[in-house]
Amino acid sequence: MKSSFILLLLITIQTILSYDPTKAIAYAKKWAYRRNPSYHDYSNEGGDCANFVSQCLIAGGFSTSGCVGNYGQGGTIPYVPNIETCLVQKGWKKATSMPASGVPAGGVITFNHGGHTALVVQGGTSPLIAGHTTDVWMGSSNYGTRTYFWDPKASPGSGKSDSGSTTKTIRWFPYVNGYDTNNVNNGFAGDYGKAVVALKIKSATYAVHEKGGSWLKATKNDRVAGRGKPIDAVAIQGGVKYRVHIKGGSWLPAVTGYNFKDSENGYAGILGKVIDAVAIKGKTYATGY
């Protein structure tokens, strides 16, 4: 009788402590650009990335108890290699190349051999991430050397946009903050020949127009504008200077307006002609393809 009770207790504890990726992602979305006062902030002490990821994991029901380096406030692990060790210790899968089925939402990616880490908030073979130190929500994971970790009980991500609508899986180029059409590394976002299908801009309100369709509802502050369909025009509020490059063509003149009816200065683009790059002065931004 006693052994049966202990077994039942262990099963109950395991159920309580099971990891729920949706709760971890909800926490990441809430705190990606802020700091939870219930936890210590390591931003000025070497970086807050591992601390934030472990907060997300804990919010999802993951227990760091017994893991190496479990010395942060509230059970967080503020050191990337210790996060990696803890995940493996707790039975998570590990891969140094992208799994064929992609990495599930709620998984973890570490970069450059333990130099950085982030939570996967949109799964798939081109996962999107949330993280601290370089604060980001729905950011590209396509940079550096990557190691992937995921709970084997979690299912692969469904390729959903930030608004929740099912779309073509969007792959993201890294964020840039320059405004120089001759600088392919940081002067603009995009890749000549690849149609832009989504846009994200930090600290701005913006809208996109789908080729053959209409203007989509305006969005702001790094949320996804676009549904995976080719975009032929972009409009940005606030008087910022911006321009677009026509696929197979050239850069159009810069504009500063925000008016869907003003084809001269109200938006950047030519309706009916797909764009493959965007340049925005004074903003941090990224395009998806």
Residue boundaries of the structural domains of the chain:
2-150, 189-288
Please tell me the predicted confidence (pLDDT) of residue 96: 94
For the domain spanning 2-150, the CATH number is 3.90.1720.10
Beta bridge partners of 160: 166
Interval 131-167: pLDDT, tens: 999 899 989 898 899 999 999 875 443 334 343 433 4
37 has pLDDT over 80? yes
Interval 173-204: pLDDT, tens: 889 999 999 998 899 999 899 999 999 999 99
Written as one string, the DSSP assignment of 85-148 is: HHHHHTT-EEESS--TT-BPTT-EEEETTTTEEEEEEE-BSS-EEEETTTTEEEEE--SSSEEE
Please tell me the predicted confidence (pLDDT) of residue 166: 36
Sequence-distant (≥ 6) Cβ neighbours of residue 2 within 8 angstroms: none
6 has pLDDT over 80? no
* Strands of the sheet with 268-269, listed across from one edge: 219-220, 205-210, 231-236, 268-269
For the chain, give the percent of residues with pLDDT over 70. Answer: 88
Distance of CA 213 to the CA centre of its chain: 26
CA distances from 55 to 50, 130, 136 (A): 8, 12, 15
Q: Which residue has the higher pLDDT, 170 or 212?
A: 212
* Strands of the sheet with 189-190, listed across from one edge: 189-190, 275-280, 242-246
Interval 86-136: pLDDT, tens: 999 999 999 999 988 889 899 999 999 999 999 999 888 889 999 999 899
The 8-class DSSP code of residue 249 comes to S
Question: What is the Cα gyration radius of the chain?
Answer: 21
13 has pLDDT over 70? no
Please tell me the predicted confidence (pLDDT) of residue 3: 45
Interval 226-262: pLDDT, tens: 988 999 999 999 999 999 999 999 999 999 999 999 9
Rounded mean pLDDT of the chain? Answer: 87
171 has pLDDT over 70? yes
Interval 45-90: pLDDT, tens: 989 999 999 999 999 999 988 887 667 788 999 999 999 999 999 9
Beta bridge partners of 206: 219, 236
Please tell me the predicted confidence (pLDDT) of residue 1: 46
Please tell me the predicted confidence (pLDDT) of residue 154: 56
Please tell me the predicted confidence (pLDDT) of residue 101: 81
